[in-house]
A = this chain, B = another copy of it.
Amino acid sequence: MIHVGFDIGGTNIKAGLVNDQGRIQVKRNVPFPRESVQACVDTLDSLIKDMLNELNLTVDDIADIGIAVPGSIDPSWSVVVNAYNLGFHDVPLKAMVSELYPGIPVALANDANAAALAELYGGAFDGKKTAVLLTLGTGVGGGMILNGKMFNGGRGNGVEIGHMTLVHNGPQCTCGNKGCFETVCAATTLVKAGKKAFEEDPNGAIAKRASGKIERVNAKTVIDCAKEGDPVAVKIFDEYLDHLSQGIASLADIFDPEVVALGGGVSLAGDFLYEPLRKLVKEKNFFKVEYEIVPAVMGNDAGTIGAAMLVSNAK
């Protein structure tokens, strides 16, 4: 039996057939059809048939189907409540797919939650019961493993770690609140501060590394300059670390997780990030113990694998 996983994004749909161990056997990556929900469902359908064909399998070999979307899911994992990047609002995606594959269990999940689940299968959470994934990107996405299972909130509304408050009355967040974790720990934070530094000193290290083009300043620009010791970049990075360690220490006080994994571009910064981060989190958590903080490992396949394992993990 094989598990079907889809990771639907605003640009592409990733698809995969995944075995019981969470390993992708065949995968696809096609453009997301923006014209209609039905077009999207049709695409999912042809992807399934195409992948089955490649492995010489039939519909009878499908154990279950999981779909990750960048948005919120209803508590029964059946309806996409809001996925702004897809233009999906109150879309009964489970029912639409189930109609094509009657008798096969289908489940939906938020993509950050699915990514956390994927790490359980040979990734950063292998063998763990309590783990937290933070994706440091445009925002801060989060997913949690509790008791060895993907946690989707006690009422099924989801998990939005990136929106816990870290700075009361701090920077405005897109969610309407202020000072959310993601307002100070998204990769965007580094980009903004880097661009500000560029403007303040067009001959500085950050401006030079961005070849004098402010639109080229990204999180890596700032981190690379900090690695080379540029005091402006070091200051930006230290402030970022201060906030990130504070957020992780808060999660440690609440969950005492076996492992915290970081995803997104920032997470690739190596020891330059992880060594001071582990030290700061140890100083700041209530228990004063060291926590395992590591890069997430499933990368681009995380959403597909997590989606594929949704139904079996929930059992």
Contacts and interface: CB of A to CB of B under 8 A. Distances in A.
Interface string A137-155: 0000000101100001111
Nearest to A153: B256
B255 A154 contact: yes
A246 B168 contact: yes
A129 B154 contact: yes
Contact of A165 (B146, B147, B177, B247): B247
A55 interface: no
A160 B254 CA distance: 6
Given A146-B146, A165-B166, A243-B168, A155 B256 contact: yes
A286 interface: yes
A77 to B, nearest CB: 14
Most chain B CB within 10 A, of A144, A253, A289, is at A253
Contacts of A251: 164, 254
A177 B166 CA distance: 13
A218 interface: no
A286 B160 contact: yes
A21 B296 CA distance: 44
Contacts of A165: 166, 246-247, 249-250
A284 interface: yes
A161 B254 contact: yes
A2 to B, nearest CB: 29
A170 interface: yes
A258 interface: yes
Nearest to A250: B164
A25 interface: no
Nearest to A170: B168
A27 interface: no
A166 B131 CA distance: 22
Contacts of A249: 165, 177
A30 interface: no
A155 B153 CA distance: 20
A286 to B, nearest CB: 4
Contacts of A152: 256
A165 B258 CA distance: 20
B166 A258 contact: no
B256 A175 contact: no
A147 to B, nearest CB: 5
A273 interface: no
Given A146-B154, A163-B250, A168-B243, 4 more contacts: A130-B153, A144-B254, A153-B256, A177-B284
Interface of A: 72, 128-131, 144, 146-147, 152-161, 163-168, 170, 175, 177, 179, 184, 243, 246-247, 249-251, 253-258, 284, 286-287, 289
